[in-house]
Amino acid sequence: MELREYGAILRRRWWLPAALALIALAASAFVALRGGAAYRTDMRLAVTTMPTADPTTAQYDPVYYANLNSEYLADDLGEFLHSEAFAGEVSRDLNSTIDITTISSATRTKKTHRFIDVTILTATREQGAVLAESIGRIVGDTSRLGQYLKALNAYRSTVTVVTPPRTDHAATTAGMVSEVLLRTLIGLSLGVALAFLLHYLDPTVRSGGDVEQALGLPVLAQIPQARRGIAVPR
């Protein structure tokens, strides 16, 4: 098949690649701007333990062990923050305006020594801000958090928000544009492939080449198609 024949196939079914490309463009743009993870809210928590001296042990360093206890607690707290139990606390704090599954799946944590970076992925900027405010209230209530982390009260530890919540788009502008373009190209490619597939399955004879390919015989003559408005001489 010559290159011009490929072009003829695409011209005949041009609407198919165009339609799939437009659908992919619209869907990817919607997901990037209004999807379930369109916005991210970042905040940082710090776990602090008050040093407690032990008069019975001369080699005891209260500051060292206080920092060590804080790191252990930060490990536990980082896991607890994206658990269903904590999501239930947030849901109750917000009077169940957001379901537990959404909260637990939207929360991400990363621990660095005694600090915990919390990332919340939401569909709207307002939802991220609401969840972050609720998380800040809960972790700041030692008695409430101590129901799940008993060591928090035993070590006289506290959790504070050291970096206030900040909400922005989950992806950068360049990242969103490249992602939309990539998905649009994928849709266009699928449309082109589907156009060729339909041509392969179409039994219609459209040219002398199709006749020769189907019958294995040469075409001796071909009657040209009459244009509209022009009478064919008899």
pLDDT on residue 60: 72
How far is it, in rounded angstroms, from Cα 140 to Cα 158? Answer: 7
Asked whether the predicted pLDDT for residue 81 surpasses 60, the reply is: yes
Res. 143 pLDDT band, cuts 50 70 90: confident
Asked whether the predicted pLDDT for residue 41 surpasses 90, the reply is: yes
* Closest CA relative to residue 47, chosen from 90, 93, 91, 81: 81
How far is it, in rounded angstroms, from Cα 22 to Cα 228? Answer: 34
How far is it, in rounded angstroms, from Cα 101 to Cα 85? Answer: 11
pLDDT on residue 35: 59
How many CA atoms are closer than 13 Å to the CA of 119, on its beta-carbon side? 12
* Closest CA relative to residue 86, chosen from 35, 42, 137: 137
Query: Would you say domain 39-169 falls under CATH 3.40.50?
Result: no
Res. 130 pLDDT band, cuts 50 70 90: very high
Q: What is the mean pLDDT of residues 218-226?
A: 72
Max mean pLDDT among 5-14, 51-60, 119-128 falls in 119-128
| Domain residue limits, the chain | 39-169
- Report in angstroms the alpha-carbon separations of 157 from 49, 51, 71, 77, 92: 4, 10, 11, 12, 24
